Structure 1
Amino acid sequence: MKKWLIPVGIIVVLIAIIAFWSIGIKNTGLQKNQAVNKEWGNVSTTYQRRNDLIGNLVNTVKGAADFEKSTLTAVIEARAKATSVTIDPSNVTPEQLAQYNQAQSGVSSSLSRLLVSVEQYPTLKANENFLKLQDELASTENQILTARTRFNEAVQDYNGYVLAIPNSWFLSYKEKPYFEAVAGADKPVEVKF
């Protein structure tokens, strides 16, 4: 056997090991990126569910009471604004996420005003359809919280993987932003009758 084949064989084996190792890093990075995209889809789905319920809630309120038009208009406009903001999870920026979060916050705020105003209408509070929709909205808000939490967990896992050395040497993925609380969310909501 020729002596020069041993070093060449070792080099070939090392190159193969490094190649398979880098392929493993890239494949795991892809899986983590897909997990973030999946969780973003869950966030979008829960917000869409809320927007669908809001339409039904507004129609129920319109039909059951001579209601304050300004409150209903605010809810409808906030819903329209929230549905117009879309995000591509593969290229999401902190600014886009903040804009999306702000639009959804507008829906939450106007919806809260609507539900507080309903207290003045006893026939509406007793309406079975309204009560069911109100319960569905409360459930959806919990689902939104869960979806956002899971999204942040997936982003944490993804960012930890793609930013760690040596993974960052092999991956071209960028850090993804987290969902953050809307400005002023740390203060309690003031409810006035």
Structure 2
Amino acid sequence: MGKYFVGIVIFGVIFYIISIFNRLVVTKNRYINAFSQIDVQLKRRYDLIPSLVEVAKRYMEHEQSTLERVIAARNGASKQLREAHNNPADPTAIRQMSEAEN
């Protein structure tokens, strides 16, 4: 009876050591996979940076042209306002001011 008990204890210890080893291998594989995923994400980020810079440049060009058009429209409206203010009885000056405001 004692031999069976010793055999079961030895089998249990061996089984426990094997299960610990397997858990270590699984943990090591998860660790390696996690770091490889981080590497993949960083590479994707670095690949997207030139695209982001290009989009920002295009957006700046769009904003610059929009700002120039707004400034030109504002200057035109200001000019028409001065002309209408100098000659309030002239209906064409009032109409041009209205069109410039629109």
TM-score (norm 1): 0.30
Report Cα offsets for 1:142-170 as digits up to 9, x if no partner.
Answer: xxxxxxxxxxxxxxxxxxxxxxxxxxxxx
Cα separation, 2, equivalents of 1:42 and 1:12: 45
In structure 2, the partner of 1:9 is 9
Distance 1:60 1:2 in 2: 85
Q: 2:80 maps to which residue?
A: none
Please give the residue correspondences for 1:6-85 in structure 2 after superposition, counting only pairs within 5 Å.
Answer: 6-59=6-59
1:6: Cα distance to partner?
0.9
User: What amino acid is aligned across from residue 37 of structure 1 in structure 2?
Assistant: Q
Q: CA deviation at 1:53?
A: 0.3
Flag structure 1 segments of 5+ consecutive residues without an equivalent. Answer: 65-193
Larger Rg: 2
Deviation for aligned residue 1:60: 5.3
- Quote the Cα distance in structure 2 between the aligned partners of 1:59 and 1:30: 42
Alpha-carbon deviation of 1:4?
1.5
Mapped to 1, the partners of 2:6 and 2:27 lie a distance apart of 32
Q: How does 1:119-134 map to 2 (within 5 A)?
A: none
Q: Which protein is richer in helix relative to its size?
A: 2
> Relative contact order (alpha carbons < 8 A, sep ≥ 6): 1 or 2 greater?
1
Percentage identity across paired residues of the two chains: 11
Give 5+ residue unaligned stretches, structure 2.
66-102
- Report how many aligned residue pairs link the two structures: 64
When normalised by structure 2's length, the TM-score is 0.54
Q: State how far apart, in whole Å, the 2-side matches of 1:59 and 1:4 are.
A: 80
